[in-house]
Amino acid sequence: MEGCLIKLQNAIVRRLRSVSGLSFASVSGENPADFIEPKHFDRACEICVLMPEPSEASLYSAGPVFSKVSVGVRVRCEPTRMGECPSVLTAAETVTRSLHFWSVPPESGYSRISLAGTSPWVRESGHSSTITVNFTACAVLE
């Protein structure tokens, strides 16, 4: 049985995989095994939906335990293969447009996603080819 946070992460992965403007990218959910061994680029651009992190506890007993969660989407383009895809800025912008104010399927327990109010984009230090786009998801009952 999957919890609400995994359902939310999987819904975001499915959404990004369905966006035709991201067909050049490999889209996946964060897997703890990725931290053990480096990930090989299957395509010129990799989009990884990071594990959702709770930011507020729910005041209600029904529904998810957390009323707000933060979800990062890491966009990383292989610099040596940039001719095979748009720039990392274009890829991150496409992710942003695809998820900002997107209504999440209700079975995840969350209603919609919006771009984070502070630090919506964070560029990985020393890696101009990696941007994390940050979002906030609110519980259905909020």
Q: Rounded mean pLDDT of 50-59?
A: 88
Q: What is the pLDDT of residue 36?
A: 40
Average pLDDT over residues 109-114: 91
- Please give the Cα distance from 33 to 132 (Å, whole number): 19
- Asked if residue 80 has pLDDT above 90, the reply is no
Supply the DSSP string of 79-124, one letter for each residue: GGGGGGS--HHHHHHHHHHHHTTEEPPGGGSEEEEEE-SS-SEEEP
Q: Which residue has the tokens 């897997």?
A: 31
CA dihedral sign of residues 45, 50, 55, 61: positive
Domains of the chain: 4-139 (3.30.2000.10)
Q: What is the pLDDT of residues 88-105, one digit of tens each?
A: 999 999 999 999 999 999
What's the whole-number mean pLDDT along residues 8-34? 87
Checking if the pLDDT of 61 tops 70, the result is no
DSSP β-ladder status, 45-49 and 25-29: parallel
pTM, whole model, 2 decimals? 0.87
Give me Rg for the CA atoms of the chain. Answer: 15
Report the amino acid identity of residue 84. Answer: E
